Amino acid sequence: MKTYWFVLLGKELYSYKMKGDSKHKEMQSLVGVHLKNELEEIVDTNTVLYPFMLIFPDKRRIYYLKNKAEKERWMDAVKKVIGYANLYDFYEVGKNLGQGKYGIVKFATHKRTGREVAIKIIKKKELNLKDLELLKREIEVLKICVHPNIIKMYDLFEN
C-alpha cells in the first residue's frame, strides 16, 4: 500500500507523492464515476483504515483514510462533484407492491412533498442486452404517461 496526497479540483482528482509537491503524479477525471462506501478495515491492534471506492468506467480504486471524519469529508466532496443522488435521500421506501421481470415495485413517499408513489427497483447487473433495451422502452413509455399517480423516472432526481 502506497501513501499519496490527493487534491480535488473541480471534477478532477490529482495525486501527489507528497504534500507540497508542485507536479502531480496522476490526474483522474471524476466524470461518469460512481462512489461506493466500504467497511472499515482493521490492520492490527493499533491501526484501522477507513476506505471508499471510486468506480471508474474501466477500473475500480479503493482509497484508504486514517480516520472516519476524514473519510466522510472526502466522500461528501466527491458526492458533490459527481452529482451523487440516492433514492433514500428523497423517498421513504415502504412495503413491496409486486415483482416483475426486472425487479421489485415498492410503495414510497416523497420526503419533501408527501407524494405517494410506486418505485421500481431494478438489479441492472442481471440485465442482458435484450432486457436492457426492453427496459429502456418501458422508461420511454413512462415518460410520456400522463396519469398523475405514475412517477416518471426523471422525477427521482428533481430537487
Contact 49, 38 (CB under 8 A): no
H helices of the chain, where? 68-82, 87-90, 129-144
Work out the average pLDDT over 104-117: 90
pTM of the model: 0.60
What is the span of the domain harbouring residue 21? 5-82
> Residue 122 has which C-alpha cell?
431494478
Residue-wise pLDDT for 14-38, tens only, equals: 999 999 999 999 999 999 898 999 9
Question: Which of 62, 82, 102 is the last residue in one of the domains?
Answer: 82
Same structural domain for residues 76 and 99? no
Residue type, 97: L
The number of distinct structural domains making up the chain is 2
Lookup result for grid cell 429502456: 136
